[in-house]
Structure 1
Amino acid sequence: MDESNIKTKAYRQIPIVAIRGSVVFPHTDAVLSFGRKKSVDAVNSAFQEDRVVGIFTQKDPRTEDPKFEDLYKVGTIAVITQMMSAEGETHAVVKGQARINITELVSSEPFLVAKVEEIEVSQNYPPEVEAISNKLSDLFKKSINLGKQAEIMTVMKLVSGKVDPSELADQVASIVDIKTTLKQKLLETLPVKERLEKVTEYLSHEVNVLEIEKTISTKTQKRFEDQMRKAMLREKKKTIEEELGEVDEGDLSSEEYSEYKKKIKEAGMPLEVKQKAEKEFKRLTQMSPHNPEGGYIRNYLDWLCEMPWSKISKNNVSINHAIKVLEEDHYALKKAKERIIEFIAVMKLKNGSSSKKRKNNVKSDNAPLESQPTILCFIGPPGVGKTSIGKSIARALGRKFVRMSLGGIRDEAEIRGHRRTYVGALPGRIIQGIKNAGTKNPVFMLDEIDKIGTDFRGDPSSALLEALDPEQNKDFSDHYLEVPFNLSEVMFIATGNVLEDIPHALRDRMEVIKFPGYTQDEKLNISKEFLWPKQVRLHGLKEHKISIDDKALYEVIERYTREAGVRNLERNLASICRKVATLVAKRKKYPRTIKIKDIHSFLGPQKFSSIIAEKKDEVGLSTGLAVTAAGGEILFIEVALMPGKGGLMLTGQLGDVMKESARAAFTWARSNWKRLG
């Protein structure tokens, strides 16, 4: 800094105003708004006297009651030219005069007052200042041409070129788009040459940004005009082709156009569905390439073309094969297997009869005595093989198997799909399952049908009625596809745990087959023939020929599980295999045959104990039977006789049936008191 060019001139005391977020430069006009009481009082006082005020920028704009130490050291002395109040704020137009320093603090109440000195800059500039000034003037003109906003009077003054270099630097600094801290540094930069260089640097950067913005804007405008021109030409072309009866491929490439035509032709759609597909395809060909609906139509056409409208799995309806498959996959369940075999036998006879009628061209669609397909519903406790026997039925018939879990479903759209007006809409899970199967006659298992819920989004069980009702499912309508799909050839099987929890309307359309829990002997045979060999194979123990004796299996069944099915039994057998596999991997001694002592070592203490009824009746003790999910249970009911009014008091967690039994026994005892003595 050339200190010889910098001079100061003492000034009398004046009101000081703190501003935030802006800087007032000498030689510039500024409009300021004041809301804080001290600032308003200072401006009013100055306006009533000689209109001279000192303006300093706050270091931290968040400070609400700034002191002298909260202000930058260099400020601007200004003259208030206009002033007005509106909406709780005071507005003033000020004109910056010169840079000032505070020399002495006079007062901080009711507003800031200080003695200041004016900083004067010599008018003797070095030769290079003129060159920098010319460059800055050119940059300013360029920025105005690029759209920079500035006061018209300021523009006219700076464009004229007859401006002092110091004033030029201050004028441009006041309108250049930079941070407040950088503007304050420019105010504190006293040498004119250095100030001009900094302002030129900042304005040059802003001009570069404006040029980039203008280039982007020009390209965007050109692209928009091109799109509008193409859209107009496309509409003209479409009109001409409609007049000539020609087809426009629109947004589709020739390859994509041919592919969709081929898909629609080879999909084997019914006439109504094909007409719908061709209508949507025509819409797609006439659509603008930038129309977002094009993606939705493509997705819809893909679903229509990929649905198995005419693809059928060839039925392998052999009674002997079905019996063999069921016996291989499941032990016991005699009654359930018998009913399934009967179902398959009826299907075999109906298929044979239908084939003969088709061969002889006999139409039987309206035959009044033709029975409708039966929908099976397997009801039983968890783990008894309801889901797995459905897979066995599909294997026995040579059909695809689809499983759909209904547990917790509360939205009807899960069954029937969403309408295409929704973003991300898809068909319901029934149609999705049919598409994944790839045939129109799979074995479709509706698992946990008793767990369907209902809320404000609809009743899924009502949506299932159409799918399961043989009178209606020939024309099942999914909300997404909006065309009928024939579900009459699908073999639906439902499963559940509690029959009473299934809605009555659904229950009425199904034939219930009850799956009882397994007895201990049945669990033993299932373990020996199915579960243990499976776990040995899964845990890599097949080569080590690990076996388990019957007593050990009985121990696991009786003491470590309490269930109607065999899921926990299989988990315990898997745990035993893991223990043995660990011993084998560590090359430690392991048992070749698992015995009872090994069970206790591998599985820990017994979890359950069997309750045996007393051989002889005891006074005050009665034996009851209770039905549980795991089968039956013995309950001991103790009776105590005490003085009173002859009433019966029941304690404990007894069910309604057990309470009724106790009251019946009490009534019988009272009615036979003479005979009982």
Structure 2
Amino acid sequence: MSSVKVKLKTDKDRQQILVPTIALRGLVVFPNNVVHFEVGRPRSIAAIEWAMENSTNVFLVAQKDMDVENPTSKDLYAYGVMAEVKQILKVSDDLVKVLVEGKYRAKLEKIQTDADFLQAAIQPAPVRGVRPADAPRAEALVRSIRDAFEEYLALNPRLPKDVIYNILSSESPTFLAEYVPSNLLFKYADKQKIMNENSTLARLEALLTVFTKETKVLSIEKEIQDKVGEQMDKNQRDYFLREQMRAISEELDEEDDSRSEAENYKKRIAKIDLPEEAREKLLKETDRLYKMQGSSQEASVIRTYLDTCLDLPWNVLTPENIDIAKAQTILDKEHYGLKKVKERILEILAVRKLSSEVHSQIICLVGPPGVGKTSIATSIAKCLGRKYARMSLGGVRDEAEIRGHRRTYIGAMPGKIISAINTSKSSNPLILLDEVDKLASDFRGDPAAALLEALDPEQNSTFKDLYLDIPFDLSKVLFITTANSTDTIPRPLLDRMDVIELPSYTRLEKFQIAKRHLLPKQLRLTGLKGRVRITDSALTALIDGYTQEAGVRSLERVITEVLRKCAKTIAAAEEEQSITISARNLEELIGPVRVKPNFSNKTNAVGIANGLAWTSIGGELLPIEVQVIENGSGALELTGSLGEVMKESAKLAITFAKVHAKEYGLDQIDFKKIDIHIHAPEGAIPKDGPSAGITLATALISALSGRAVRSDVAMTGEITLHGTVLPIGGLREKTMAAYREKMTTVLVPKDNMPDLYDVDDTVKEALSFIPVSDLQQVLKINLLPSAQA
């Protein structure tokens, strides 16, 4: 084989000769140093043999990743060394020992991999020496390196004497920059950093940095070794003392109850299929109990701990039999309506039935109070055939409530999750985390953060309660959480949940729920079954006149109140009688109607517009009033507990009115001589949010122009400075409020029209939805002509 000349394109288009190249793994060779190493790759052996046969030098360059078997140019460092092969010794067919001497530093220009061995085009890269101006700095660096070497030597004294002598006796910056990294056990990446430097001064600085880091690591390593040695000595001493105590006890024929207890615990541990880490921990505690007096306080603590751990349902699984048809029947029987919610639950159950890989799916049921979130979770447990446990998280502030207390505290106990597992006596129960949005945090920690590990499918297979201090597998537990709103749930926690939203009930749904579920239940509980009959008209009157809520909890209380009045009458009568309750005699029983009509625009009034608002318990009608006071000073008055965002919306509406004054006949108004008062009724209730923007603008233009606002229209939408209507949230709840207040038309931002998919079918049939994209379109629909006004 002969050297091949190839023409490589460079800036001067000069000829370059390809030289045999060896990619070194974990080794960097410096000029003027003799190094021996072993070569095992066929291509590297071929390069060495060819260099010896042809009496040529070989280019040695380190590769970045030692695991790469066939490196290319991107796997090699840019700088290496041209070296003379002094001697080779063939150990076997696939292993050769090589002795080389580094000659000069070179830069890798290009590499070819298509021959029997690597061939590289190189360019000599000499290192710039120390200039006279830098001589003082070079001397300071040499001294610092020698001082650092002495510290290094104190921590690592096993260096050859000739190496120590050569380093401490030399004052040559060039010699030290090449000799020290070549002969000390630095990381090859650190050595390569020194090799890459183009000046002796920069090399010395890099070498000093490496020395500092290595000295620090060695000092920490020495501290660790010293501590381990002391601990081993202490453990051996304790072991001998305990063995002596045991021997003395046996000689005196002393029997301790703790020994028999410890043996019993060991038998219980052997019977349970525990993870290895848990088994070792419990056996260690058993050994501690064996060596203690049975009456000691510590022995009592250990017994309590062992009982708690061994009572847990390790690997006790409740068989899961998912029948979709049966689940459909259970959900329909126990819950009226909630069509989309039931569909989502059945879809989740179907996936669990078809795939055994789906385990830790966290379901979050979100909706207003009283819509059936907790009862839905109970129904899911019935559908799955799993054990059921409930945890209330409302107002929990202490992280230890979730993860337990460490056993170092007096009265320590496991957290709520492990307690729920223990209560259910199953390692795959359905655990309901109620009111997850009511978690709080203080100086005792953040319970929501503690829940992250339990609810994360990637890590809850090794959940560690602080009291148990051994991992417990929660991956088979089905967690269901409930919340009234997702706004207060921390984002990382919400990200681990599959959210299912439960809507507010319509009037028809409340009637059916009361008739099918609430009334029969309360008749049974009050002992009036067959004695009292409440007519459909009475139930409707109770819904409309005595309750105002998103759910049915207040409705159930009102029904119970009616039945109590009937029970009093029946109990006082001498003869058995039956009572029929109709809408006409409700007032005699429980008093006049309690739900007062909400203030709103009911008569096409001027300066009053019906807006829609979202609350945590459902949607509400939010009317906005505007009055214009003449002979004023241009002041703006905002009342009704308005937040900053609503105040900004009011200012946007005024700006729009000024800009478009001519279009609405306002060009004769001098805004500097009038006062504008904007009010949102029910002033004690704070209100905020951008979705009242079009309502504010409509009421304002109406008051200024004298044109009345339609009373059958409700609206919601945010506005911009130029009158563009932007989308809002909570459309489903807001439309429910419009339906409840008997509106006929709802103005919805055009971008919110896809959200109507989630609106109840009854609401969609009762209301007419008009998409709007700008404020002029809103005013055209809302404002009546001047003649009609």
TM-score bracket for the superposition, by shorter chain length? 0.5 to 0.7
- 1:602-641 counterparts in 2 under 5 A? 602-611=589-598, 617-628=604-615, 629-635=617-623, 637-641=625-629
d(CA) in 2 for partners of 1:599, 1:441: 49
Match of 1:431 in 2: 418
Match of 1:517 in 2: 504
Cα contact 1:621–1:639 (8 A) shared by 2? no
Does the residue aligned with 1:323 lie in a helix, a strand or coil? helix
Shift of 1:436: 0.7
| Counterpart check, 1:674 vs 2:662 | yes
d(CA) in 2 for partners of 1:636, 1:336: 34
Match of 1:539 in 2: 526
* More displaced stretch, 415-424 vs 644-653: 644-653
Decide whether aligned partners of structure 1 residues 534 and 642 sit closer, same or farther in structure 2, where only a CA change above 3 A counts. Answer: same
Shift of 1:395: 0.9
Amino acid at match of 1:280: E
CA deviations over 1:492-542 (Å, ceiling 9, x no partner): 111111211011111111121111111111111110010000000000011
Amino acid at match of 2:401: E
- Corresponding pairs, count: 422
Does the residue aligned with 1:377 lie in a helix, a strand or coil? strand
Amino acid at match of 1:416: R
d(CA) in 2 for partners of 1:655, 1:564: 24
d(CA) in 1 for partners of 2:646, 2:297: 66
Match of 1:571 in 2: 557
Cα contact 1:313–1:442 (8 A) shared by 2? yes
Shift of 1:347: 0.7
Does the residue aligned with 2:326 lie in a helix, a strand or coil? helix
* More displaced stretch, 633-642 vs 385-394: 633-642
Match of 2:96 in 1: none
* More displaced stretch, 550-559 vs 566-575: 550-559
| Counterpart check, 1:265 vs 2:270 | yes
Decide whether aligned partners of structure 1 residues 656 and 385 sit closer, same or farther in structure 2, where only a CA change above 3 A counts. Answer: farther
Shift of 1:261: 3.7
Cα contact 2:328–2:346 (8 A) shared by 1? yes
Match of 2:688 in 1: none
Amino acid at match of 2:630: M
Shift of 1:241: 8.5
- 1:312-351 counterparts in 2 under 5 A? 312-351=317-356
Match of 2:246 in 1: 238
| Counterpart check, 1:279 vs 2:251 | no
Amino acid at match of 1:239: A
Paired residue for 2:534, among 548, 552, 566? 548
Structure 2: gaps spanning 5 or more residues: 1-241, 666-789
- 1:351-430 counterparts in 2 under 5 A? 351=356, 373-430=360-417
d(CA) in 2 for partners of 1:622, 1:415: 48
Decide whether aligned partners of structure 1 residues 303 and 419 sit closer, same or farther in structure 2, where only a CA change above 3 A counts. Answer: same
d(CA) in 2 for partners of 1:290, 1:653: 65
Does the residue aligned with 1:501 lie in a helix, a strand or coil? coil
| Counterpart check, 1:311 vs 2:297 | no
Match of 2:586 in 1: 599
Does the residue aligned with 1:649 lie in a helix, a strand or coil? strand
Does the residue aligned with 2:246 lie in a helix, a strand or coil? helix
Does the residue aligned with 2:389 lie in a helix, a strand or coil? strand
d(CA) in 1 for partners of 2:254, 2:332: 61
Match of 2:161 in 1: none
Match of 1:250 in 2: 256
Shift of 1:568: 0.9
Does the residue aligned with 1:392 lie in a helix, a strand or coil? helix
Cα contact 2:430–2:480 (8 A) shared by 1? yes
| Counterpart check, 1:559 vs 2:545 | yes
Amino acid at match of 1:666: I
Does the residue aligned with 1:639 lie in a helix, a strand or coil? strand
Does the residue aligned with 2:382 lie in a helix, a strand or coil? helix
Decide whether aligned partners of structure 1 residues 342 and 269 sit closer, same or farther in structure 2, where only a CA change above 3 A counts. Answer: same
CA deviations over 1:298-342 (Å, ceiling 9, x no partner): 111101111111101110211111111111111122222211111
CA deviations over 1:77-122 (Å, ceiling 9, x no partner): xxxxxxxxxxxxxxxxxxxxxxxxxxxxxxxxxxxxxxxxxxxxxx
Shift of 1:412: 1.1
d(CA) in 1 for partners of 2:509, 2:642: 31
Amino acid at match of 1:472: Q
Rg (Cα) greater in structure = 1
Shift of 1:288: 1.6
Match of 1:10 in 2: none
Match of 2:109 in 1: none
CA deviations over 1:152-202 (Å, ceiling 9, x no partner): xxxxxxxxxxxxxxxxxxxxxxxxxxxxxxxxxxxxxxxxxxxxxxxxxxx
Decide whether aligned partners of structure 1 residues 543 and 420 sit closer, same or farther in structure 2, where only a CA change above 3 A counts. Answer: same
d(CA) in 2 for partners of 1:301, 1:652: 61
Decide whether aligned partners of structure 1 residues 328 and 557 sit closer, same or farther in structure 2, where only a CA change above 3 A counts. Answer: same
CA deviations over 1:566-614 (Å, ceiling 9, x no partner): 1111111111111111111111796632111332122212221234865
* More displaced stretch, 667-676 vs 312-321: 667-676
- 1:432-447 counterparts in 2 under 5 A? 432-447=419-434
Does the residue aligned with 1:317 lie in a helix, a strand or coil? coil
Shift of 1:620: 3.3
Match of 2:164 in 1: none
Cα contact 1:626–1:635 (8 A) shared by 2? no
Decide whether aligned partners of structure 1 residues 289 and 653 sit closer, same or farther in structure 2, where only a CA change above 3 A counts. Answer: closer
Match of 2:639 in 1: 651
CA deviations over 1:349-405 (Å, ceiling 9, x no partner): 112xx6xxxxxxxxxxxxxxxx66321111111111111111111111000111111
Does the residue aligned with 2:421 lie in a helix, a strand or coil? helix
Decide whether aligned partners of structure 1 residues 235 and 289 sit closer, same or farther in structure 2, where only a CA change above 3 A counts. Answer: farther
| Counterpart check, 1:490 vs 2:477 | yes
Decide whether aligned partners of structure 1 residues 647 and 276 sit closer, same or farther in structure 2, where only a CA change above 3 A counts. Answer: same
- 1:106-145 counterparts in 2 under 5 A? none
Shift of 1:556: 1.2
Query: RMSD of the TM alignment (CA)?
Result: 2.7
| Counterpart check, 1:296 vs 2:301 | yes
Amino acid at match of 2:558: N
d(CA) in 2 for partners of 1:409, 1:607: 35
d(CA) in 2 for partners of 1:671, 1:375: 52
Cα contact 1:558–1:608 (8 A) shared by 2? yes
Cα contact 1:381–1:515 (8 A) shared by 2? yes
Between 1 and 2, higher relative CO (CA 8 Å, sep ≥ 6) is seen in 1
State the TM-score, normalized to the length of structure 2. 0.50
Amino acid at match of 1:669: A
Decide whether aligned partners of structure 1 residues 528 and 281 sit closer, same or farther in structure 2, where only a CA change above 3 A counts. Answer: same
- 1:1-40 counterparts in 2 under 5 A? none
Cα contact 2:365–2:499 (8 A) shared by 1? yes
* More displaced stretch, 265-274 vs 294-303: 265-274
d(CA) in 2 for partners of 1:432, 1:317: 26
Amino acid at match of 1:421: T
Paired residue for 2:491, among 498, 504, 510? 504
Q: How much identity, in percent, do the aligned residues show?
A: 48
Cα contact 2:259–2:290 (8 A) shared by 1? no
Amino acid at match of 2:663: R
Amino acid at match of 1:338: E
Structure 1: gaps spanning 5 or more residues: 1-233, 355-370
